[in-house]
Amino acid sequence: MNSIPKPPATLTTTGKQIYKQLSEYLRESNLLHKVDALLIYQAAVWWEQYIKAIEGIRKHGPTQFYPKTGMRQTSPEMSNLKQAQTALNVLFKKLGIGEEARQKLNIIEGAEYDPMDDI
């Protein structure tokens, strides 16, 4: 696929940026396919959540004090961050992003994939 799919209008500016960056990376790596548009969209949405969680942690800290119980507990932003990280790791593997994913897909940087190697 030579052209990069247009980012959905529902994404924020940050989401559109990561959507374009992921698409460009996959195109340059010859990994971009039309069917990946949904995975790229999902990764962009989770990236937005990841950024929001980091901003919340910077603002409120990783734990919060709850006056009713007098206890400190993990902030909701930490839970959101972990959930976003997990989702992004899964999506990146599906898209062939990261060393482990490239090894599974038998992709070596600078080398052409030869399907005959699988025989």
In this prediction, residue 115 carries a pLDDT of 45
Rounded Cα gap, residues 100 and 6, in angstroms: 28
Q: Are 115 and 107 in contact (CB under 8 A)?
A: no
Locate the domains of the chain by residue range. 13-118
As beta bridge partners, residue 63 has 74
Summarised one tens digit per residue, pLDDT across range 41-97 is: 999 999 999 999 999 999 989 998 888 888 888 999 999 999 999 999 999 988 888
Of residues 103 and 87, more confidently modeled: 87
pLDDT band at 30 (very low <50, low <70, confident <90, very high): confident
The alpha-helical segments, DSSP class H, found in the chain are 13-28, 37-60, 76-95, 99-104
Alpha-carbon span 28 to 54, nearest angstrom: 29
